[in-house]
Amino acid sequence: MHRRQALIAALSVVGLGAAGCGSRHGPGPVVPTPAPPLYPSRAADLFRPGTRHLLATGETAVSEIVPGGVLRLPTGRLTAADPGWVTRRWPDGVGPFTVTVPPGAYPLTLALLDGRVAAARLTLADRPVTSWDLALRAGEDPATLAPGYFFGVGVDTGTMALFDEAAHDAVGRLADTDPLNFDVEDSDTLEHRDVVPGANVIAFLTGFGDGEYPVWIGRTRDGIVGCFVVDMQMLAPATTTTAPPWLPPPSSGRRRPAPVDQPGSG
């Protein structure tokens, strides 16, 4: 499954993988180096086909947009997780985001750079997004984050899955039964249909592979959730941009969250 481990290792040496994440699930503490600002709108810009982008590797690539299927959310509580962590073997702490949406079926779109999934967008309302929030799980407080840091989705199998909270146990059973149940090929998506009544699971590969990835909530002018965007952090840090950065809300005594050991370690 780890077809990209050499590249991932090379990126980690120069600090392209770890910087900027408030590591909830990572294998070690966050390196206390200055983190670049976070720009959710840059991930959203990846969904403009034919646009050229500078990658963290120093190369450039043209954005390609492909459909990823339709995700069904019977409770409206979205979960994004490495499917290998949604398992009965560990008390994983993988839960849904605190922001709920109306139950329904929503289209998933992938933005590819150099054939890799650079971002995934779940569209709930086909309307312009005017503001961005960081998607959070229970117990995650953005006021504890320093600028440039985020709570993200930890990945160590190079794969992420999106599903409704109602499908959590079914995803765990699939992962426990056979890890190859979530073996995704290249830039395709893998769907498990009707894992529970009314809910499916859609999995896809994550950019350069393992890491920690933020999920952004795009809101329309009237405040409703227009989309969720998963940013695979493939882009080079912005040097010049007119886009406003995302900043955590102010808090006295702010500190970065303590890292949590990787499931199954120790």
pLDDT at 254: 52
Give strand ranges (E) for 173-232: 190-196, 199-205, 211-213, 215-219, 225-231
For residue 37, what is the DSSP state?
Answer: P
pLDDT at 178 over 60: yes
What are the distances in angstroms from CA 255 to CA 22, 141, 150, 248? 10, 11, 12, 11
Kindly report which listed range (14-28, 175-189, 222-236, 244-258) carries the lowest average pLDDT score. Answer: 14-28
Taking a C-beta distance cutoff of 8 angstroms, is the pair 219, 124 a contact? Answer: no
pLDDT at 97: 96
pLDDT at 186: 80
2-13, pLDDT tens digit by residue? 333 333 333 333
Q: Which of 7, 6, 36, 10 is nearest to 21 (CA)?
A: 36
Mean pLDDT, the chain, rounded, equals 84
pLDDT at 36 over 80: yes
pLDDT at 260 over 50: no
Sorted by where each begins, the domain ranges of the chain are: 5-27+36-231
pLDDT at 258 over 60: no
Q: Within 77-191, where are the H helices? A: 168-177
Look up residue 207 and give its two tokens. 């950019």
pLDDT at 217 over 50: yes
Q: Which residues of 168-192 are buried (b: 16+ CB within 10 A; e: fewer)?
A: bebbbebbeeeeebbebeebebbbb
pLDDT at 141 over 60: yes
Q: Any idea which residue has 């605190």 for tokens?
A: 98
pTM over 0.85: no
pLDDT at 171 over 90: yes
Stretch 129-150: mean pLDDT, rounded?
94
pLDDT at 33: 60
122-134, pLDDT tens digit by residue? 999 999 999 999 9
